[in-house]
Structure 1
Amino acid sequence: MLSKAQIKYIQSLQHKKYRQKSGQFIAEGDKIVPELLSEGVPVQEVYATTSWISAHEQLLNNVRVTAVDEAVLKQISALTTPNQAMALLNIPEPTPAVLKGVVTIALETIQDPGNLGTIIRIADWFGIKQVICSPDCVDAYNPKTIQATMGSIARVRVIESEIIPLLQEVPSYAATLHGTNIVEFKKIEEGIILIGNESRGLSDQVIAACTYRITIPRLGGAESLNAGIAAGIICGRLLI
């Protein structure tokens, strides 16, 4: 069982300032927790129902496990409908981006945790190993972000960095409404794909520093695309 102090601590990790202070975050979900474990991500502790623990015994070797009932899971969960398992993990130590010879997604001022999590999942789908976030993006370790990655956070590094200094190293592709049609580009094997804020897009400074401005051709009347959808379409065109 968990003590009141432990419950309070886990609850505090729903807030960015406490995640930053402790260097820890939570991931919850009947799919996400097993994926983290199977990928060998260092999990500090798992909180789960006894039935979930019994069904995943092989994954739980050498992992600290605490059995909790559904009422306690509801207390510590950041979700409206709690799952059967939650993991406590350390936030990875910052590492520099490796840009040469790979494709990277860079995000400027993304504010919706669901969008960020979806883009991390898209990166994983297309074999992109790192996503760079400007310092004013939503926190990558927000519980809603982690949930939206559907386990892809286990395979994609998220790096916080100023973006403009990185754009001198490899070709860069800024997603804008007034650029070159993406169908005119060949498959890329190196470079940075840039996606901007949900309502404002990329800043003028970032666009000016990029090698190319790219646009998804619009055939209908929609004003704009969701950031995650745009990232998926661009990756599908430039990487396949």
Structure 2
Amino acid sequence: MVSKSQIKLITSLEQKKHRTKLGLFVVEGKKGIEELLESNFELHFLYTTQDIFNAPREKKHLISEVELKKISSLVTPQIGLAVFRIPVENEIKLKGLVMALDGVRDPGNLGTIIRLCDWFGVETLVCSLDTVDCYNSKVVQATMGSIARVDVHYLDLALFLEENNSHFKVGTFMEGENIFVTNMPKAAIVVLGNEAHGISNNIEKLIEKKINIPQFSNVKNTESLNVATATAVLLSEIRRKENY
């Protein structure tokens, strides 16, 4: 059974201020829960309609589908809901390729980008302070468990780029060099900007190399690529150049 206090706690975690205050976040669905149970994330408690998760018995509670609907933020709840502790941020690993986001606001975009970083072996993702919270439930859902393997850091992005001397700063711009023909340094920080406005002016001043994904159609009013789609193309091409 889910108590009223637990329902209140779980629903409060939809808001960032409560996630920050309590140091907790929600994960829903079999895949995401299993991935985090196998990681270094600490389980706070787990509610599930099926006893299929390898979790401590004292933190695991079997409930009905009706009860799961009361605490789930999904239209169609998926087997279970778990609450994990937000880990303390570790020191930033500046090794090889690092991705950076400047004001990305859409939860689905951030979740997909985290998943792409995991797929393409990018260990570190740095985000401006106005980028959507990676522990937003929609972001977590979109990562499909990849949040367990990618270090996400929130910081003053301009200051971070300004103080960093170990990596070449690369940014995505409409007037940049064609990614398919330009050379990319192995130790690089690749910055992607806001969905509507791109990279902000104060960050642009710190960029040492501008790149772009060329448009092959002749239709002038075609919308630019979604930031998550652009990330997929960039990472695929960068890794291809490194390995072939």
Normalising TM by the smaller chain, what interval? over 0.9
In 1, the alpha carbon distance for the partners of 2:47 and 2:62 equals 6
In 2, the alpha carbon distance for the partners of 1:62 and 1:176 equals 51
Identify unmatched segments of 5+ residues in structure 2.
none
Judge conservation of contact 1:189–1:239 (CA < 8 Å) in 2.
no
- Partner of 2:82 in structure 1? 87
In 2, the alpha carbon distance for the partners of 1:28 and 1:225 equals 29
- Partner of 2:97 in structure 1? 103
- With the length of structure 1 as denominator, give the TM-score of the two structures: 0.92
- The one of 87, 105, 112 aligned to 1:118: 112
Letter in 1 for 2:190: I
In 1, the alpha carbon distance for the partners of 2:125 and 2:58 equals 28
Structure 1 pair 88/238, CA: closer, same or farther in 2 (3 Å)? same
- Partner of 1:185 in structure 2? 182
Letter in 2 for 1:213: K
What percent of counterpart residues are identical? 38
- Partner of 1:195 in structure 2? 192
Q: How many residues align?
A: 234
Identify unmatched segments of 5+ residues in structure 1.
none
Q: Deviations over 1:63-113 (max 9, x none)?
A: 7101111111111111111111111111111233222x3211110111100
Q: Trace 1:1-80 onto structure 2 (pairs within 5 A).
A: 1-49=1-49, 52-53=50-51, 55-56=52-53, 59-61=54-56, 64-80=59-75
Judge conservation of contact 1:43–1:63 (CA < 8 Å) in 2.
no
Letter in 2 for 1:31: K
Judge conservation of contact 1:207–1:213 (CA < 8 Å) in 2.
no
In 1, the alpha carbon distance for the partners of 2:61 and 2:103 equals 37
Root mean square deviation, CA, Å: 1.5
- With the length of structure 2 as denominator, give the TM-score of the two structures: 0.91
In 2, the alpha carbon distance for the partners of 1:18 and 1:39 equals 23
- The one of 189, 203, 208 aligned to 1:206: 203
In 2, the alpha carbon distance for the partners of 1:63 and 1:184 equals 56
- The one of 155, 159, 162 aligned to 1:161: 155
Q: Does 1:223 align with 2:193?
A: no
Judge conservation of contact 1:182–1:215 (CA < 8 Å) in 2.
yes
In 2, the alpha carbon distance for the partners of 1:34 and 1:206 equals 38
In 2, the alpha carbon distance for the partners of 1:20 and 1:204 equals 29
In 1, the alpha carbon distance for the partners of 2:173 and 2:72 equals 38
